[in-house]
């Protein structure tokens, strides 16, 4: 999949989120996942550019299916990010180990 271009309102939200601790509330289908992916890319680029270890970005979703769907979208849109998803209680046993290596974690 080719990298999806942000709409203007998504770009505005992304730029605000880069500068502030922000919470994005949008209706279904308006691009929250894409904005989060672009923000995770920005965070990683800033860390690598300054010689720091990139921080892990957590993305929460209300259902297991949505966790898997959004993780796949992140892999498609940002192959440079290391993405993992944890959707069942048993998965969380491994969470501390994986957080050391991840760029983007869907829960």
Helix (H, G, I), strand (E, B) or coil at 93: helix
Which residue would you say has higher pLDDT here, 98 or 60? 60
The answer on pLDDT for 95 being more than 60 is no
The answer on pLDDT for 98 being more than 60 is no
Average pLDDT over residues 19-37: 93
- Tally of CB atoms within 10 A around 6: 16
pLDDT tens for 29-79 read 999 999 999 999 999 999 888 998 877 888 888 787 888 899 999 999 999
């Amino acid at each position: 999949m080719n990298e999806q271009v942000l709409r203007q309102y998504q770009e505005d939200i992304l730029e605000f989120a880069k500068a502030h601790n922000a919470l994005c509330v949008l209706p279904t289908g308006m691009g929250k996942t894409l904005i989060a992916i672009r923000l995770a890319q920005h965070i990683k680029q800033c860390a690598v550019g300054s010689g720091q270890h990139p921080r892990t970005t957590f993305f929460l979703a209300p259902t297991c299916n949505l966790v898997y769907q959004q993780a796949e979208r992140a892999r498609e849109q940002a192959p440079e990010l290391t993405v993992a998803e944890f959707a069942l209680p048993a998965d969380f046993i491994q969470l501390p180990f994986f957080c050391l290596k991840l760029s983007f974690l869907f829960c």
